């Protein structure tokens, strides 16, 4: 007689469960949503969704329960890789191929908007930080910033995905 409670108490060896498919699906979700213009102003929600998808798909596919920490690891990896796929196309190539005139026009427009809001300190920072010769530094800084967001939000999404998708025995 099989007792369903004993199946829940069973421990599954994760070495027998491949994470590749779940991570690839989550990377694709994160990257595709990274091309949506409003995903970044909306608190980079696509990083969270990618992490959530990685852990949730993995638990559902293998019918196991994974820990918050394991889900967080899968989520942060998936979100970071998804960001790394989308970043060159969404940010790096367009910014690095911006003419000096267009870059200066963008910096002036940004400065003007802060000046109109009564924030002259921000105008000084923008004028010092955004000269055309700093485009490479801006791209690098943006990559680092988005990497941090991807890892943190992906970990949060993965951990929550692992907590919500409890399917079967606990995985080691």
Scored b (16 or more CB within 10 A) or e, 86-96 reads bbeebbeeeee
Predicted confidence (pLDDT) at residue 8 exceeds the cutoff of 60: no
Distance (Å, whole) CA 69 – CA 84: 22
Distance (Å, whole) CA 36 – CA 74: 23
Domain definitions of the chain by residue range:
4-171
With the C-alpha atoms ordered 67, 71, 72, 73, is the resulting torsion angle positive or negative?
positive
With beta carbons less than 8 A apart as the criterion, state whether 12 and 170 touch.
yes
pLDDT at 9: 53
pLDDT at 3: 46
Predicted confidence (pLDDT) at residue 144 exceeds the cutoff of 90: yes
Answer whether 0.85 is exceeded by the pTM. Answer: no
With the C-alpha atoms ordered 68, 70, 73, 76, is the resulting torsion angle positive or negative?
negative
Strands 11-12 and 170-171: parallel
Q: Which helix (H) or strand (E) holds 170?
A: strand 170-171
Predicted confidence (pLDDT) at residue 171 exceeds the cutoff of 50: yes
């Amino acid at each position: 007689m099989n007792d369903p409670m004993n199946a829940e108490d069973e421990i599954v060896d994760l070495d027998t469960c491949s994470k590749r498919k779940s991570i690839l699906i989550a990377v694709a979700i994160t990257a595709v949503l990274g091309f949506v213009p409003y995903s970044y102003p909306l608190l980079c929600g696509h990083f969270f969704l990618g992490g959530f998808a990685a852990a949730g798909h993995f638990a559902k596919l293998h019918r196991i329960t994974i820990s918050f920490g394991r889900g967080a690891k899968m989520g942060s990896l998936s979100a970071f890789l998804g960001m790394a796929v989308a970043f060159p196309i969404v940010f790096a190539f367009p910014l690095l191929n911006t003419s000096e005139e267009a870059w200066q026009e963008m910096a002036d427009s940004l400065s003007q908007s802060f000046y109109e809001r009564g924030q002259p300190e921000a105008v000084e920072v923008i004028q010092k930080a955004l000269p055309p010769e700093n485009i490479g530094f801006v791209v690098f800084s943006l990559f680092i910033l988005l990497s941090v967001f991807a890892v943190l939000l992906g970990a949060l999404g993965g951990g929550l995905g692992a907590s919500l998708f409890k399917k079967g025995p606990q995985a080691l």
